[in-house]
Amino acid sequence: MDSIRCPNIVSFYGACTETGKYALVMEYMSLGSLYKILHEDNLALTWSERLSIAFQAASGINYLHQLREPVLHRDIKSLNFLIERAYQGFTVKVCDFGLARTRNETTRLTTSNPTLICTLQWTAPEILRLGGHTDKSDIYSLGIVFWELASSKVPYDRHEDGVIRAFVLAGDRLKIPKNTPSTFRKLIKKCWTQNPNDRPNSSDLVEMIEKCTQVRGNFFLFLVYCDGG
């Protein structure tokens, strides 16, 4: 993790390994998580700000997926994107790599121990069936995060796990608010389609969000693409 350098990935500074005092030293993001600003602070966001957040979130995941040895996050949710005020908007960074694995490690883990370890509301149907986690599973989870941006609601709030599981496995999805721009609505639906092969990859997703901003005439200054390396 200390080798990762990307504007949309939270920086790792060091670790304490003294017995009984284990700790990670990470970059501080003053507003906390995307979950917090949407569901606890109830921060009112313009569509320009929402699309900017979506773009940066997708850019951070795209960086991980495009590394020489691709990394799958495996626990994408609004709690794992940290937010900071920036000039003309917000800075967004991916955090919490506790479940992250390289693609090869994920294949080995799935073969030896196919246990469900993701957070249910953001979990792709193929994972609910105890299938292997792929980059397209991360994309599904991003789709749920984008739905949160569109609705400002907690996904499947107060629903029991069994109800959520049955709903998702049946191919049903959350209702997208009517005021959602049509291009962003289509993007969400592409991300959470039932068949993983029909979902965009992370690079395509970044381009799709850019097109959303062009349609609405929004120009996000000070955003930087993350180059895999």
Q: Which of 41, 75, 198, 204 is catalytic?
A: 75
Under 8 Å between Cβ of 122 and 141:
yes
pLDDT tens sequence across 21-31: 777 777 888 99
Distances (CA, A) of 92 to 76, 89, 160: 13, 10, 30
Residue 220: both structure tokens together: 């996000």
CA atoms of 91 and 11, how far apart (whole Å)? 13
Mean pLDDT on 113-139: 84
Residue 89: both structure tokens together: 């908007």
96 annotated active-site: no
Number of H helices, E strands in the chain: 8, 7
- Split at pLDDT 50, 70, 90, the class of 227 is very low
pLDDT tens sequence across 58-76: 999 999 999 988 999 999 9
- Split at pLDDT 50, 70, 90, the class of 216 is low
CA atoms of 70 and 74, how far apart (whole Å)? 12
- Split at pLDDT 50, 70, 90, the class of 102 is very low
What domains, with CATH codes, occur in the chain?
A: 26-108+115-209 (1.10.510.10)
Mean pLDDT on 223-227: 42
Q: What is the pLDDT of residue 118?
A: 56
